[in-house]
Amino acid sequence: MNIAFIGLGNMGRPMVLNLLKAGCQVSVFDINTAAAEALKEDGAFVAGSMEECVKGAQTVMTMLPAGEHVRAVYLGDHQGGVGLLKMVEAGTFLIDSSTIDPASARLVAQQAHTLELEFVDAPVSGGVAGAQAGTLTFIVGGTDSGFKQAEEVLQHVGKNIFHAGKAGDGQMAKICNNLMLGILMSGTCEALSLGMDNGLDPKVLSDIMLQSSGRNWALELYNPCPGIMDKAPASNHYQPGFMSKLMLKDLGLGLEAATESQSPIPMGTLARNLYAFHNAEGNELRDFSSLFEFYRKPSK
């Protein structure tokens, strides 16, 4: 399988490594040339441009920060640059795994179909650890045939592959998931901090809650208190992982969707505001579990 992969950050890099391990030929591109060069020794072909990267590829995968980057890459930037929809060969299959607004995903899908290209949105859940282990959950939006094609590629990088519905529905499901994650991470930080303020050992409290009704993904795999889980970003100076600015973006996408559908999301809005305060204090590039420090300030 011949794959072009664009966007080699915290998630893209380990996904490429798993594609290479599965025997795929992978050509890579990132505007951060160092991120692309770093994959050379692992067997990736490092392209000097997006055009060179997608040339001859059967499948193109993208893993970019936000909707504006996805629109720029697929449709071209505002200065009239050409997007990859106009660079790929007929029959190339397109998968975007970034987390973005459903409207941008639908726009790209519609433009792709106009050019007789198949495109699916396939955002992921599972974090960097899931990307490294090849156990990501993919949430696909697109046609039935697009979903079938996507499964063939995504099985090399993920474990659970869901068809959420039509174009953009993968993004909508992912936004709902991350709304819940933002709320659960905030709640986990809050409960651990309350326990510590009242003399509890956070490790003992974590063990108790893990076997009780407060159990959740953040507590299980991503404890936000330093020193409890060796591999969690909290025990590595909150190095991402999943940057706080990306969590704020995702909670903002939840708010946009809720405004559109007139749905009440008081918990999600509160979590979004917590991340807005936290990021304004210079934590944008740190892992999203660093919200724990918000609760431990100023003199605790």
174 tagged catalytic: yes
Distance CA 179, CA 112 (A): 29
Q: Does position 154 bind ligand NAD by CB under 6 A?
A: no
Looking only at residues 178 through 197 of this chain, which bind ligand NAD when binding is defined by CB under 6 A?
Answer: none
DSSP string, 202-260: HHHHHHHHHTSTT--HHHHH---STTS-TTSGGGGTT--SSBHHHHHHHHHHHHHHHHH
Amino acid at 300: K
Among 14, 30, 95, 122, binds ligand NAD (CB under 6 A): 30
Give the binding range for ligand NAD (CB under 6 A) out of 10-18, 188-196, 222-230, 270-278: 10-18
Q: Which residue is nearest to ligand NAD (CB)?
A: 9
Query: Minimum Å distance from CB 195 to ligand NAD?
Result: 26
Among 14, 83, 127, 170, binds ligand NAD (CB under 6 A): 127
Strands 136-141 and 124-125, sheet pairing: antiparallel
65: CB partners within 8 A, 6+ apart: 7, 9, 98, 246, 249
Short-list 37, 51, 129, CA closest to 88: 51
Q: Does position 160 bind ligand NAD by CB under 6 A?
A: no
Number of residues that bind ligand NAD (CB under 6 A): 27
Among 5, 17, 69, 228, binds ligand NAD (CB under 6 A): 69
Query: Minimum Å distance from CB 251 to ligand NAD?
Result: 11
The backbone torsions φ and ψ at residue 141, rounded to the nearest 5 degrees and listed phi first, read -120, 130
Among 20, 39, 54, 63, binds ligand NAD (CB under 6 A): 63
Q: Does position 65 bind ligand NAD by CB under 6 A?
A: yes
Among 64, 120, 175, 253, binds ligand NAD (CB under 6 A): 64
Q: Which of 55, 148, 166, 174 is catalytic?
A: 174
Active site residues: 174
Residues contributing to the site for ligand NAD (CB under 6 A): 6-12, 29-32, 35, 63-65, 69, 72-73, 98-99, 124-125, 127-128, 241-242, 246
